Structure 1
Amino acid sequence: MTSRNTSWNAKPFLLAPAGKDYLWGGNRLKEEFSKEVDLSPLAETWECSTHPDGLSVVATGEHEGKTLRQVLQENPEYLGTHPHTKGELPILIKLIDAKRDLSVQVHPDDEYAQKYENGSLGKTEMWYVLDAAKDAKLIYGFHHPIEKNVLKKSLEEGTVEKLLQKVSIEKDDVFYIKAGTVHAIGAGALIAEIQESSNLTYRMYDYNRLDKSGKKRELHIEKALEVADLSGSLQPKQPLRVLRYRRGFASELLCRCKYFQVERILLNTECCRTMANFQTEENSFQVLLCVDGCGILFDDMGGKIPFFKGDCIFIPACSVPLKIHGKAQVLKIGC
């Protein structure tokens, strides 16, 4: 581990998520990830969020019971000095259970959102596929370039599906969804999503479904047409991934962009019976999302956080030195 200034004494803490009961969701987040959220279906859990539409709550440590938003407002040093934070948590991390197809949708970029959506961030996101049914697919852009008036007519006539590019997905796939890309998660997919801290979604097409009150969900076709990339999209290719081995664990980079960086850590200290040093970042917070297995995160002040599949841990930028032990797969997210 790197040497630390004595003022670096903040401890990591476990987060409890906010939940969403969108009509396309299932129950896998409860059954497989032990999410104790009183919603059915449970479509999404917002694991690490300061967005007002779904606030995470601190579940352990000195800040227990406070929202993550409140804790970061009171302790801005937890975010670090990375220029992208700008005093706010710039990311939002979700688990998504798509029992049915999500709507065909698109998100604006930062420039459009700041101009037309009260200064909000846009929404670029990354998906890591935790599990996928044999025939699971996602929608990613269009087969060929398309004119705006043609797309609008196809949306009005309900024929847009024939224009959309569908991509088969498998467990462990990674997809980068840039703002402006028309997309949808298909039925049978279980996804970890890392995105900008935004809840701007322009719904283009929703299969004429009815919500709980028997009404069709709102569409945002005019805004969607303004921000959508109408050029034809190449089939997304899986990024080159290289495992780097260290004593007790291996890691690989899944995605790096201007908004976030995501690594996958394969922890197995049971084979060497020693705790692994966990390298924190001096200029950025880190978030650990356990997607399989279990372990324990230790700090040099005698504290420890046991974690299990589905747990999410926030690590302040000014964290005390840490060690980790167990057998687990963990996504490590930061700026």
Structure 2
Amino acid sequence: MTKINMSLNCNAFLLKPAGQDYLWGGRRLKDEFSKEFDLTPLAETWECSTHPDGISIVASGEMEGMLLSKVLKEHPEYLGTHPKTDGELPILIKLIDAKKDLSVQVHPDDAYAKEHEMGSLGKNEMWYVLDATKDATLVYGFYRDMDQEILRKSLHEGTVEKYLQKVKIQKDDVFYIESGTVHAIGAGALIAEIQENSNLTYRLYDYNRLNKNGKTRELHIDKALAVANLKGSVAPRQPMRVLKYKRGYASEFLCRCKYFQVERVLINTERTRTMADFQTDGNSFQVLLCVDGCGILFDENIPLNFFKGDCIFIPANSVPLKLHGKAQLLKVSC
């Protein structure tokens, strides 16, 4: 494949996220990740997103101030040739602060979403636990096999929680949530989420909570039951992970699926080093989410400072990148 000539506006660039003020959020994204939004609470920041419900903005370089969706429409070569891109950003990356329990919910797969949701993508997602309180849990499916009649009755009577499988979580855990899996993030969890570029959520149960207007939030029980996996499931175990060490950094795979792949990279070098893992080919872009520490990335000797909470987009066919600092990054690509 012929390598695309890179112009100045094809260097790596920072992104400014969109914010969401869902009722279960808190303050940790403001206090610990320097997310400056006039939203209370601040539940989510959509760090890398072209979804119309929350579009990221370029925050450095020649394209600063432009919507990421506009940049990628004008420069589809930034996405690469991976079939999942198909001219559109196929992923959405979030930071999530769950001060309170999220609703019990389920997401459709691509086929159901395409047929019933005006051609939208479905939603498969991965969670990386950045932090968790001592008693934090998540909901992952059911303890036992269910059927629609039993589930409907339990939802009507408010007894559904006794059937839900709750899993204790701790910092550095990884969970892959396949479409159709009934799930919920529990109070006290701080999560980085990588998912398909979709905002389809079918709520099954919301603890009878009231929103800021004093009304209960909409439930989507019929659609949820149409897509939910009602089989009992085994609590997910943490996969074996192996750190691979190279000069100045170490890396490990967290998740690889047909929608995206995610690595955790630990940078620890006082010298500026070329790091081949951050050079993209023509196949896919990369997104780097800094979840701890800080550093400097050099793209064609142009310095880009990054800090905890920053998100960097690296177009496909990038030059070799140089980095130094002490930081923990999540690296996402197709």
Residue aligning to 2:61: 61
The aligned length equals 330
CA distance in structure 2 between the aligned counterparts of 1:205 and 1:304, rounded to whole angstroms? 48
Residue aligning to 1:314: 313
Residue aligning to 2:26: 26
Tell me if structure 2 keeps the 8 A contact 1:17–1:47: yes
Residue aligning to 1:163: 163
Tell me if structure 2 keeps the 8 A contact 1:105–1:224: yes
* TM-score normalised by L of structure 1: 0.97
Residue 185 of structure 2 is aligned to residue 185 of structure 1: yes
Give the letter for the 2:304 counterpart: I
CA distance in structure 2 between the aligned counterparts of 1:178 and 1:22, rounded to whole angstroms? 23
Residue aligning to 2:211: 211
User: How far is the alpha carbon of 1:38 from its aligned partner?
Assistant: 1.2
Matches within 5 A, 1:1-335: 5=3, 7-9=5-7, 10-270=10-270, 273-279=271-277, 280-282=279-281, 283-300=283-300, 302-335=301-334
CA distance in structure 1 between the aligned counterparts of 2:84 and 2:49, rounded to whole angstroms? 16
Tell me if structure 2 keeps the 8 A contact 1:247–1:276: no
> Secondary structure of the residue that 1:77 maps to in structure 2?
helix
Cα distance per residue 1:124-162 (max 9 Å; x no partner): 000000000000000000001111110011001110000
User: How far is the alpha carbon of 1:240 from its aligned partner?
Assistant: 1.3
CA distance in structure 2 between the aligned counterparts of 1:119 and 1:274, rounded to whole angstroms? 46
Cα distance per residue 1:39-71 (max 9 Å; x no partner): 110000000000000000000011111110000
Cα distance per residue 1:11-64 (max 9 Å; x no partner): 000000000000000000000000011111000000000000000000001111
Give the letter for the 1:7 counterpart: N
Tell me if structure 1 keeps the 8 A contact 2:99–2:187: yes
Give the gaps of 5 or more residues in structure 2. none
CA distance in structure 2 between the aligned counterparts of 1:255 and 1:7, rounded to whole angstroms? 31
Tell me if structure 1 keeps the 8 A contact 2:142–2:232: yes
When structure 1 is superposed on structure 2, of 6-15 and 237-246 the one drifting more is 6-15
Over the residues paired in the alignment, what is the CA RMSD in angstroms? 1.2
CA distance in structure 2 between the aligned counterparts of 1:248 and 1:318, rounded to whole angstroms? 23
Give the letter for the 1:91 counterpart: I
Inter-CA distance 169–316: structure 2 relative to 1 (3 Å threshold): same
CA distance in structure 2 between the aligned counterparts of 1:238 and 1:170, rounded to whole angstroms? 11
User: How far is the alpha carbon of 1:247 from its aligned partner?
Assistant: 0.1
Runs of 4 or more, structure 1, over 4 Å off, are none
Tell me if structure 1 keeps the 8 A contact 2:3–2:317: no
CA distance in structure 2 between the aligned counterparts of 1:319 and 1:281, rounded to whole angstroms? 5
When structure 1 is superposed on structure 2, of 5-14 and 78-87 the one drifting more is 5-14
Give the letter for the 1:275 counterpart: R
CA distance in structure 2 between the aligned counterparts of 1:334 and 1:68, rounded to whole angstroms? 16
CA distance in structure 1 between the aligned counterparts of 2:203 and 2:263, rounded to whole angstroms? 30
* TM-score normalised by L of structure 2: 0.97
CA distance in structure 2 between the aligned counterparts of 1:257 and 1:8, rounded to whole angstroms? 29
Tell me if structure 2 keeps the 8 A contact 1:106–1:181: yes
Give the gaps of 5 or more residues in structure 1. none
CA distance in structure 1 between the aligned counterparts of 2:272 and 2:12, rounded to whole angstroms? 21
Tell me if structure 2 keeps the 8 A contact 1:294–1:307: yes
> Secondary structure of the residue that 1:170 maps to in structure 2?
coil
CA distance in structure 1 between the aligned counterparts of 2:38 and 2:56, rounded to whole angstroms? 15
> Secondary structure of the residue that 2:150 maps to in structure 1?
helix
